Structure 1
């Protein structure tokens, strides 16, 4: 793809395990229906997007339905994704029952949240609370 072919909102799919693992080391934000992981991908000229839904979530038709709903939400929010970043959506069971408009609104809010500068008073990304000193 050349620079003239690039259109705003163009997304590439993440397919390799290493891409998903790299995104897991980045910023995270979550809602009841899904979690979002994001990390800068400096060599990319478009945003990368990946989806994952674990077997704990349900059987294969349920997992596929969750992924379909998340893909549709990503399409609706395609212009909000930042070029040069990779994103992974981690689907949860609540994605089946959430109204679609809420999925789209939550995704838009989480994209803003993962790119917002972190203040020093926020909880550490590990989620385990402050570190204890010895």
Structure 2
């Protein structure tokens, strides 16, 4: 029973529409070799147990197969790290960089973790 889910666990919800991404764009920014993270507190909502997460990769990254791979890697890394290092009541947009599809998994996790910690520090 030690692996039982707690009701106080932070829920991560996906950002899906363009205005959500554009809102977060004007918040804080952290760049790393493997990714860029934008973060901003959600407007008009009291902080709760909810974090917003959006994922994007531009055509500069590569064709659709490569962009999808980059976004899948970002989603999985965020699934692991965002509940620990993200701030409740904030939205995050994860942007793939050229290195995202091929960089080592441990390096991707390190880059994301350090960026999330920096964003949470303020």
Give TM-score scaled by structure 2 length: 0.85
Q: CA deviation at 1:79?
A: 2.1
Partner of 2:60 in structure 1?
56
Displacement, 1:56? 1.4
Match of 2:23 in 1: 22
Counterpart-to-counterpart distance in 1, 2:86 and 2:8: 12
Give the alignment of 1:119-130 within 5 angstroms.
Answer: none
Deviation at 1:82, TM superposition (A): 1.0
Of 101, 105, 108 in structure 2, the residue corresponding to residue 100 of structure 1 is 105
Of 16-25 and 97-106, deviating more is: 97-106
Cα RMSD for the two superposed structures: 1.6
Aligned residue number for residue 34 of structure 2: 33
Match of 1:85 in 2: 90
Query: How many residues end up aligned between the 2 structures?
Result: 113
8 Å contact from structure 2 (residues 40, 92) kept in 1: yes
Answer 1 or 2: higher relative contact order, Cα 8 Å, separation at least 6: 2
TM superposition score normalised by structure 1: 0.78
Q: Distance in 1 between matches of 2:79 and 2:8?
A: 14
**Residues in 1 aligned to 2:67 and 2:94: alpha-carbon distance in whole angstroms:** 13
Residues 9 and 81, structure 1, Cα contact 8 Å, conserved in 2: no
Give the greater-gyration-radius structure (CA): 1
Alpha carbons 2:86, 2:120 under 8 Å: kept: no
Contact 1:8 1:79 in 2 (8 A): no
Unaligned 5+ segments in structure 2 are 1-5
Distance in 2, Cα, partners of 1:52 & 1:7: 29
Partner Cα separation in structure 2 for residue 83 and residue 106 of structure 1: 21
Determine the structure 2 residue equivalent to 1:128. none
